[in-house]
Structure 1
Amino acid sequence: MGRMAVANAKTAPSKPRCRKVGARCRFEGCTGRPWFAQPGSRVPRACKAHKEEGEVNVYAPACEADACTTRPHYGADGGRARFCCKHKLDGMVDVLNKRCAKKGCRRQPSWARERGGRALFCKEHKEDGMVDTKHKTCLHPGCTRFPSKSGAVATTKSQPSEDNTETTAGGAAATAAAHPGPARYCAAHAPAGATNVTASRCRHPGGCSVQPYFGREGGGQQPKFCALHRKPGMTDVRNPRCTAVGCTAQPRCGREGDPRPSFCLRHAEPDMVNFRSAGYRDRGKATTPKRRKLAISSSAPSR
C-alpha cells in the first residue's frame, strides 16, 4: 500500500510553480524585471523595453472595457479605478493621481512651498511664494521662468524626408529633429548661440530654422512651412485674416476704438483708419513732449 502511494505520487502531474524571485526579462542580456505577457497569461516574460506587440502588463489591472488593455484611472469618487480616460463613464473621476489641496478641486497639484517639496496646489489655487515643482525652470540662479532655449547650438541635424513632412502630427517632431537637446534657459538668460527648441520649425526637407506660418485649409489650421518653402495652395493659417468673405490678406484697418484691425487695405471702409501706419502708431508720442514743454515754460519764473 505504501509503495503504491509512492508510485502514484511520482506519476502525478506537478503543480505549476510560482515565478522565481528575481526573474529577468527573456531578452538575452537584459537584466530588467519582466512585467509583460500575452493576454490571459499570468507569468510575465518581458520588460517594457522588450515586450512584443500585443503583450500587456500582468501586474497592473486593465480597463474594464472590452479589448482595452489601458491602465484604468477613473472610477466612482472614493472607489477603485475601473476605466481609462477613453472609456470612462459619466460622473467618474480620476481616483489614482493626487488632487489639489483646495477643497472641491480635482486638478493635479504642481506647486509647493519650496523647491523639492511635495506639490500641494494647482496653478489656480497656489499660494503666494509657491514654486512649480512639476515643470523644469531656467538654469539661471533665481530664475523661475520656463526654459525655451537649449544651452548650445545643435551640431547634428536629423533631416526629415519628403514623405513625412506632410504627415507628421504637429510641429514637435520637426522641432526635436532639427534641434536635439532639452530646453535649459529662458529667453532672457539664454547664452550666445542658443536656439529655441520649444517653438516649431519649418518642415522643409533641407532644414529650415524659420517658424512656420503656412498650411493647407481644413488641415486643423496647423502651420507647417515658412513663406519661402510653402507649397502651392498653402495660406497663412497663423495670422488673422480680413473679415471680407474670401479674402486671405492680413487685416490692417478698423474703426477708432476697435481693439484690433478687421479689414485689409482693399476692403477697408472710408471711415476706417490704418492701425499699422507710422502716423497712427506715433500720434500719441508726438503730442506728449509738446505738452510737457508748455507746462515747463508756464511754470518758469518771469524775469
Structure 2
Amino acid sequence: MRPEFCSQHAKPGMINVRKKRCCHPGCTKKPSFGTAGSKKAEFCSQHSKKDMVNVVGRRCGHPGCTILPSFGKDGTKKPELCSQHAKQDMINVHSKRCGHPGCTKRPSFGTSGSKKAEFCSQHAK
C-alpha cells in the first residue's frame, strides 16, 4: 500500500500504512515482540506469543539477560544493566532522584498543591 494522506487530512476509517503494525488481524498497535534472537518485531504485547520477547526496547547488557536496564554510571543518563547485574558503583539512572544535591534516593515528597515528587523523606522541607 502506498500512503495517500497525512494524518491531518486522512479520511475516517483510513489507517497508517507507512508504519508497521501488529500482525494480529485487526490490531493497529505498534509491534515490539518477536522471536528471541530476531530483530524483527511482529506482535504487540497483547498479541505476542508466550515464547516471544521484546526485540525493540533496550535490554540489560549482561549476556542472556532480557530485563530492562535501569542502572548506569553516576553522571550519565544511559542505563546499561538491570538491578540484578548492576555493578557496585552503578546507580539507578532511569528513575527520578531526590532534588537535594548528592542524594540518590527516589523522591516521595513535593510542595503543597503540586503533584510532583521532588525530595526524599530525609530532605523534605
The TM-score bracket by the shorter chain reads 0.7 to 0.9
Q: Deviations over 1:9-45 (max 9, x none)?
A: xxxxxxxxxxxxxxxxxxxxxxxxxxxxxxxxxxxxx
Match of 2:86 among 209, 215, 230: 230
Higher helix content, 1 or 2: 1
The structural deviation recorded for 1:256 is: 4.2
**CA 1:126–1:137: 2 relative to 1, 3 Å:** farther
TM-score by length of 2: 0.86
Does 1:203 find its partner at 2:61? yes
Q: Does the Cα contact within 8 Å between 1:215 and 1:236 map onto a contact in 2? A: yes
**CA 1:181–1:239: 2 relative to 1, 3 Å:** same
Which AA in structure 2 matches 1:241?
R
Q: Does the Cα contact within 8 Å between 1:214 and 1:238 map onto a contact in 2? A: yes
**CA–CA separation in structure 2 for the residues paired with 1:193 and 1:142:** 22
Which residue pairs with 1:141 in the alignment?
25
What is the aligned-residue RMSD (CA, Å)?
1.8
**CA–CA separation in structure 2 for the residues paired with 1:134 and 1:252:** 42
Does 1:184 find its partner at 2:68? no
- List gaps (5 residues or longer) in structure 1: 1-115, 155-178, 270-303
Match of 1:214 among 67, 71, 76: 71
**CA–CA separation in structure 1 for the residues paired with 2:71 and 2:49:** 30
Q: Deviations over 1:48-80 (max 9, x none)?
A: xxxxxxxxxxxxxxxxxxxxxxxxxxxxxxxxx
**CA–CA separation in structure 1 for the residues paired with 2:14 and 2:120:** 46
**CA 1:141–1:230: 2 relative to 1, 3 Å:** same
Which AA in structure 2 matches 1:120?
F
The structural deviation recorded for 1:195 is: 1.2
Match of 1:246 among 95, 98, 102: 102
The structural deviation recorded for 1:126 is: 4.4
Q: Deviations over 1:88-132 (max 9, x none)?
A: xxxxxxxxxxxxxxxxxxxxxxxxxxxx233431x4x24343321
Which AA in structure 2 matches 1:212?
P
**CA–CA separation in structure 2 for the residues paired with 1:209 and 1:267:** 35
Match of 1:131 among 2, 11, 15: 15
Q: Which runs of 4+ in 1 moved over 6 A?
A: none
Q: Does the Cα contact within 8 Å between 2:3 and 2:18 map onto a contact in 1? A: no
Number of residues of Structure 1 aligned to a counterpart in Structure 2: 124
Which AA in structure 2 matches 1:215?
G
Q: Could you say what secondary structure the match of 2:33 adopts?
A: coil
Which residue pairs with 2:2 in the alignment?
117
- List gaps (5 residues or longer) in structure 2: none
Higher relative contact order (CA 8 A, sep 6+): 2
**CA–CA separation in structure 2 for the residues paired with 1:192 and 1:126:** 39
Which residue pairs with 1:194 in the alignment?
52
Q: Does the Cα contact within 8 Å between 1:119 and 1:133 map onto a contact in 2? A: no
